[in-house]
Amino acid sequence: MTESRISETSILATQNLRRAVARESLIILYQGMPSALLGHLLISIFVIFAMWPVIASQQLFLWGGLVWLITGVRWLSVRRFFKRWAQITEEELPRWQRGMSLLAVFQMSVWGSATFLIWPAEIAYKSVLVAVIGGLISAGGIMLAVHRSSFWLYCVPISVPTIFVLLLDGGRLEHAMAAMVLLFSGTTLLSVNRLSHIFIEGLEVRFKMQALSRIDPLTDLLNRRSFDESFQHAWNQNARASQSLGLLMLDVDYFKKFNDSYGHPRGDEALRDLATVLRRVASRTTDLCARVGGEEFAVVVPTTDLEGAQLIARQIIEQLTLEAIPHAGSPSGLLTVSIGIKVGVPQRDEKIEDFIDGADKALYRAKDNGRNRIEVAPVARVDYRSS
């Protein structure tokens, strides 16, 4: 039981950590995009100005128009992202990452096309264009250190055509520049890999520290502070959607007697076993389980009507009974819990504290009426809707 609980918790924590890091990396990338796009516009203007004496104006404006077009498309993508990023789900993240990478490929392919559309014959002008390309590779490496797989997609469309054309030109200086671009791209890639590892490790440490501050160390459930924040979020969501919200408050029966009989280490183990039961029963991704006191727990079940909340409460009691944790100080001889339920559609004029208090009062009634039972808070002016 304990090993299984630890394994499940570890896998879930790892998945959550990866999702948090991926989301934060994507946000950082998009935050840096406006300045990068402005840089593309300014550099393209510089290239047109520098190549004006040796390249036909029609070719320069054709190439510049392509740069400005793809830059505009990427700008619109950035604006759309920041309008929606708070509502972007974990399932949508890969799509946004692919979209960002695809647009970067298009942009750098346009820059790579400069080696065919506006490639000068004079070595001095070639050197200017190669220097600009090297600067773009370097700037991209710095920006994409947060997402190293995208750097390949960014670097290849500009570096490969440049190296190819320089080698075809056949001159000694051109060959030297081709080797320089190849060497520069390779060293930048190595640097990006190192920076990416450092950055990702830093994000993981940050999110792990945040998670530790939100998790009860004994049970690996949410702590009281995190419960308050999470319940407020669930309350707001269900209020906007006019959907019912369920709250279960649980208390372990005769827990002081349990500790007196078996000792505090065994009491801690019993609380961990109960936490495992709660996670197993309240298993939807939207469900929340928390330890809100010494032997008091809470289960939040969004978009759940009264019948669904009662079913979850009964399953908790049944599963805990199957665990058959001995309790000599309990009339049943086993560890049991009392549960209070409050379900309702959050109202704008209703205080969240009153809702929680309703579940608490139902819990106290369950304890007063003999324990190891379920009590429901009175329903007022609520039209329950099942999810």
| 3 annotated active-site | no
> In the chain, what is the straight-line distance between the N-terminal and C-terminal CA atoms, in Å?
32
pLDDT of residue 76: 93
pLDDT of residue 140: 78
pLDDT of residue 8: 47
pLDDT of residue 379: 67
pLDDT of residue 213: 63
pLDDT of residue 211: 59
- How many C-beta atoms lie closer than 10 Å to residue 352's C-beta? 15
Q: Which of 148, 69, 179 is nearest to 113 (CA)?
A: 69
State the fold for domain 224-376.
Answer: Alpha-Beta Plaits (3.30.70)
Which of these is catalytic: 8, 90, 295, 323? 295
pLDDT of residue 65: 94
**Average pLDDT by consecutive 10-residue portion of the chain (387 residues)?**
45 61 78 88 94 94 94 92 75 80 87 90 92 86 69 82 87 90 85 76 69 77 88 86 91 93 93 93 87 92 91 94 92 94 87 91 94 85 38
Q: Where are the domains of the chain?
A: 2-213, 224-376
- The pTM of this model reads 0.55
The answer to whether 251 and 306 have CB atoms below 8 angstroms apart is no
